[in-house]
């Protein structure tokens, strides 16, 4: 069995942003040499997310708008009593998820129709990292 570890680093221009990272994950799988296995893609920060969905700009805007309705940026969160100002980002991350696992078949990501991997940033403009762990043969 082979294992391969890589890290992706992001410093988004926007405080809240959704970035398609499928190509970067495909390249990591290729570098790993794994033909049959799994890839774990994991956000290493509690205010960012990794998830799978469709690459469509309107949908990405819809996600951000929907998340703002569910977990709006506001001042009255208890978390802010600690001196922080990003409670909504923690909540948004919880909703969108921490990681994805994708099958690797014949050396490629084994997706359903339209599936892509995204990094969701909810407290951006600073350096954050994503773990890519490939396991298989």
> Could you give phi then psi for residue 94, rounded to 5 degrees?
-60, -40
pLDDT of residue 4: 98
The alpha carbon dihedral of 112, 128, 13, 64 has a sign of: positive
pLDDT of residue 39: 99
- Convert the pLDDT of each residue in 120-129 to its tens digit: 999 999 999 9
| Contact in structure between 88 and 27 (CB atoms under 8 Å) | no
Q: How many CA atoms lie within 13 A of 33 on its CB side?
A: 5
Structure tokens at 64: 């951000």
Is residue 84 within a helix (H) or strand (E), and if so which, with residue range? none
- Domains of the chain plus CATH, in order, are 2-136 (2.60.120.460)
pLDDT of residue 86: 97
Q: Mean pLDDT across the chain, nearest whole number?
A: 97
Structure tokens at 108: 């490629």
Q: State the Cα–Cα distance between residues 88 and 94, nearest whole angstrom.
A: 10
pTM: predicted TM-score of the whole model, two decimal places: 0.96
The alpha carbon dihedral of 95, 96, 99, 101 has a sign of: positive
- Convert the pLDDT of each residue in 61-116 to its tens digit: 999 999 999 999 999 999 999 999 999 999 999 999 999 999 999 999 999 999 99
């Amino acid at each position: 069995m082979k294992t391969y570890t890589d890290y992706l680093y992001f410093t988004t221009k926007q405080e809240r942003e959704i970035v398609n990272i499928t190509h970067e994950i495909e390249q990591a799988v290729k570098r790993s040499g794994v033909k049959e296995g799994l890839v774990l893609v994991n956000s290493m920060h509690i205010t960012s997310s990794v998830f799978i969905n469709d690459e469509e700009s309107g949908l990405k805007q819809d996600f951000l708008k929907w998340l703002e309705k569910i977990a709006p940026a506001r001042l009255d969160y208890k978390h802010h009593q600690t001196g922080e100002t990003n409670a909504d980002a923690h909540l948004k991350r919880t909703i969108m998820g921490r990681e994805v696992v994708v099958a690797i078949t014949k050396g490629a990501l084994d997706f359903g129709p339209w599936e892509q991997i995204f990094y969701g940033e909810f407290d951006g403009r600073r350096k954050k990292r994503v773990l890519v762990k490939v396991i298989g043969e």
